[in-house]
Amino acid sequence: MKNPLTTNDGLPSFSAIQPEHVEPALDSVLAEGRHRIASLLSVDRPTFESLIEPLEDLEHRLNRTWSPVSHLNAVRNEEALRESYNRCLPKLSDYETELRQNDRLYRAWLAVQENDSQLDPVQRRLIDLSLRSFRLAGVALEAGDKERFRELMQELTTLQARFEENLLDATNAGLCHVTDELQLSGIPQRSVTRAAAEARRRDLEGWVFSLDYPAYRAIVSHADSNPLRQEMYTAWVTRASDQGPEAGRWDNTRTMEAILAARHEAARLLGYPNFAEYSLATKMAESPDQVRGFLEDLARRSHDAASEEFAELQHFAGHELEAWDVGYYSEKLRRRKFSISDEELRPYFPVERVISGMFEVVNELFGIEVRQREGIDVWHPDVGFYEAYGADGALRGSFYVDLYARPAKRGGAWMDDCIGRTRRNGSVIKPVAYLSCNFMPPVGNSPALLTHDEVVTLFHEFGHVLHHILTTVDYPSVAGINGVAWDAVELPSQFMENFCWCEETVEMISGHYQTGEPLPEEVFDRLVGSRGFQAGMQMVRQLEFALFDLRIHAEYRPGQGGRILEILSEVRDQVAVVPAPEFNRFAHGFAHVFGGGYAAGYYSYKWAEVLSADAFAAFDDEGVLSRDTGDRFLECILQRGGGVDPMKAFVDFRGRKPTIDALLHYSGIGG
């Protein structure tokens, strides 16, 4: 039987992929890549067409093999697949480093850059980014240092996967078992019903709240029982650590230290003083000092507001608050001030209505029509598949949607690349994306109902999808989200969030699941009024994450280790307003940073928020659903992917460089 991971055509055959397919498929593709590269290097006077286009094709081929494996490992993390996946990670890392440390290949790229006068701007940018990747992989190192760098990349690949596995295992194992019905007071009925079903599934009496985010949020925001809130909070913030109910069982402490040490050594080998400097070499920001200044400036602007908000919350509660009280009393205060709550809004946001309305919004903005396609091979019955068509009726791209939390699925929400756009033999292979969330699934006979926060999350991830599938760039390494500076890649996603707060668009995405009634105008007005609720507290919380991430990488010293808890404590003293208990081990679950891509780059969310808020202000000025403005955003930002410098793309759209004013305005924080 043919290995389903080695086919070059069509969508992945998820139902056919088995753990035993993974390693042979990767071995085959990597061997083919090595053979093809050796053949390409035998050609004299390389050109873009003779060298780089075949290399782009090899990258496309490798991604098509590995992407379904990586995705299944995230959404269906079973033991046999995990073992196959982990065996492949060092091989993949070794191949990538070997490729970028190849002197002959590097010189061939340089020759194309120097000799091909017919290159267009996208091709030139592709070459510039690739040459930078060669240098950042150690192509100029001596042989011994090259080998050490390669070892470090393999080690990091394994360590980061271990971090995420520990976190997933700790999350899957955690639970909050309730046998006294009185403890359920205040918890939304949908969550209680789900917990009862989970208890039955485990052959337990009463109610079982799993340690996924919907269950965590339901308890810490709504449970009247202080001990129950404390129990759930403690289990959540001590996952994969030396504290809490599972202390030491999946402890990430040593893994985190090893990750920081390996990153630092790799950066030093390449001549960077620390990993933060190395990380910023691929980003818009110029230096760690610039990033820290940006973050601390935001902290100064928002700290007074955050302190006032927390003081107001404690006054409302009538006593000093512990960390597990904040969500509960915040929800009550929000209801008091704006007569609105998540549970009041939830019936107006059934999933199907939100999704269809979201598609209406992008049709109005960009002339993109999205249609569901049935009969596609998927990894779970809840997964849907959609195709996006342009104003000319041509297919632009497609995407999978996997919305609900379940065991063995990674937490959080994300978008990823399934297939990148490329041109092969004169025809275009259209891009495909994954959109994954962890919302509460349907309960009983009612459909899945979203909170407004979850609607915002869905729009955020769909912004990433649009960025990937609407690209018109034909080279995979700079098409869609690929090749985009990490601190600009959040621009389209954060931009899309704004449409969840506009009257014109909320009408499209809301409708009571029983009556179809749109969100009443007075409820919408209260929702908009609540947009700036605790904006200062939310701002300093994100700044805490970003400053912590930056500092552990910029200040790492081999003799003293990562000082993870020490630096986190210092950052909290500087910016936080909510006291964290001594047992809090937030960092042990900080997968964005220790699991991969956002290392020394978590500031990107705030950096890109400046860009996205300023971009959306153009729609506020010219019309929220202005097609002219939407077409300009499509042409300047979404279609160009990584084929243009992100600052140039922004200036082309906005006519000037970004300012921080719009971010402060939409956050409700004074300058």
Q: Which residues are catalytic?
A: 461
Q: How many CA atoms lie within 13 A of 458 on its CB side?
A: 27
The phi and psi torsions of 512 (rounded to 5 degrees) equal -55, 135
Alpha carbon 263 to its chain's center = 21
Beta strands, E only, 103-244: 175-178, 207-210
* CA gap 313, 655 in Å, rounded: 42
3-state secondary structure of 191: helix
Burial state string for 179-193 with b = 16 or more CB within 10 A and e = fewer than 16: eeeebbebbbebbbe
| Cβ atoms 401, 384 nearer than 8 A | yes
Cβ atoms of residues 641 and 483 within 8 Å: yes
> CA-CA distance, 319 to 336, in Å (whole number)?
17
Q: Tokens 């970004």: give the residue.
A: 658
Cβ–Cβ contacts within 10 Å for residue 25, how many? Answer: 22
How many C-beta neighbours within 10 Å does residue 147 have? 14
C-alpha to C-alpha distance for 535 and 497, rounded to whole angstroms:
15
Query: Hey, which residues does 446 pair with through a beta bridge?
Result: 443
Separation of CA 623 from chain center:
29
Cα-to-chain-centroid distance, residue 453: 16
Distance of alpha carbon 204 from the chain centroid: 35
Q: How many residues are there in the chain?
A: 671
Token digits for 72? 């299944």
- Cα of 94 vs its chain's centroid, Å: 25
Phi then psi for residue 479, to 5 deg, are -95, 140
**414 neighbors 462 (Cβ within 8 angstroms):** no
The whole-angstrom separation of Cα 658 and Cα 608 is 10
CA distance 47 to 56: 13
Residue 38's H or E segment, with its range, is helix 19-40
DSSP code, position 590: -
Whole-number Cα distances in Å, 282 to 133, 276, 597: 9, 11, 12
- What angle separates helix 143-173 from helix 253-269, to the nearest 10 degrees? 160
Residue with tokens 């009612």: 446
What is the three-class DSSP state of 406? coil
Question: Is residue 641 a contact partner of residue 481, using CB atoms and an 8 Å limit?
Answer: yes
Q: CB neighbours (10 Å) of residue 628? A: 9
HSE value, Cβ hemisphere, 13 Å, CA-based, for 255: 28
